[in-house]
Amino acid sequence: MVKFLKPNKAVILLQGRYAGRKAVIVRSFDEGTRDRPYGHCLVAGIKKYPSKVIRKDSAKKTAKKSRVKAFVKFVNFQHLMPTRYTLDVDLKDVVAVDSLQSKDKKVTAAKETKKRLEERFKTGKNRWFFTKLRIANHGTVVGNLLCEIQV
């Protein structure tokens, strides 16, 4: 009986604008806070995945294609699907609770996250995290997820 919604866990968002996107838990608030009286967590995720790079591409093109666009968000646990993967990216100093208070703080947090995630992508580790979740025509996000995760 292990608690699995911990920081650095890779997670997939199920609802909202970022549904189907992969994210990492930065901080989790299991008991909830006064504003949000439910279990929720702060996630940092990928808004736009890096595209596929082929050998033919020039250096400029490769750089352009490997860009990652990030987002930072509070999400209810119910709208997350935990996976068995973890992502060891140090995002705690970048993304704090107060970075979602104002718009510019949010933007700076997202930019920093983007930088860290891009670095990680370029090292070639955690490849699963940076691939888009393939959604078949008839499937739901959860169904496709479960197929992907269990593989």
Which residues here bind another protein, judged by CB under 8 A? 1-5, 30, 39, 77-78, 81-82, 84, 140, 142-143, 146, 149-150
Pull the structure tokens for residue 77.
């646990």
Give the span between the Cα atoms of 102 and 86, in whole angstroms. 29
For residues 28 and 99, which CB has a smaller minimum distance to another protein in the complex?
28
Q: How far is the CB of 5 from another protein (least distance, A)?
A: 6
For another protein, the closer of residues 16 and 65 by Cβ is 16
Number of other CB atoms surrounding residue 102 within 10 Å: 10
Q: Give me the least distance between CB of 124 and another protein, in Å please.
A: 26
Pick 2 or 59: Cβ nearer another protein: 2
Q: At its nearest, how many Å lie between another protein and the CB of residue 37?
A: 14
Alpha-carbon separation of residue 86 from 9, 102, 114, 125 (angstroms) = 4, 29, 18, 11
Residue closer to another protein, measured from CB, 16 or 139: 139
**Phi, psi for 79 (deg, rounded to 5):** -100, 20
E-strand stretches of the chain? 9-13, 22-29, 40-48, 69-76, 80-86
Tell me the closest approach of the beta carbon of residue 82 to another protein, in angstroms.
6
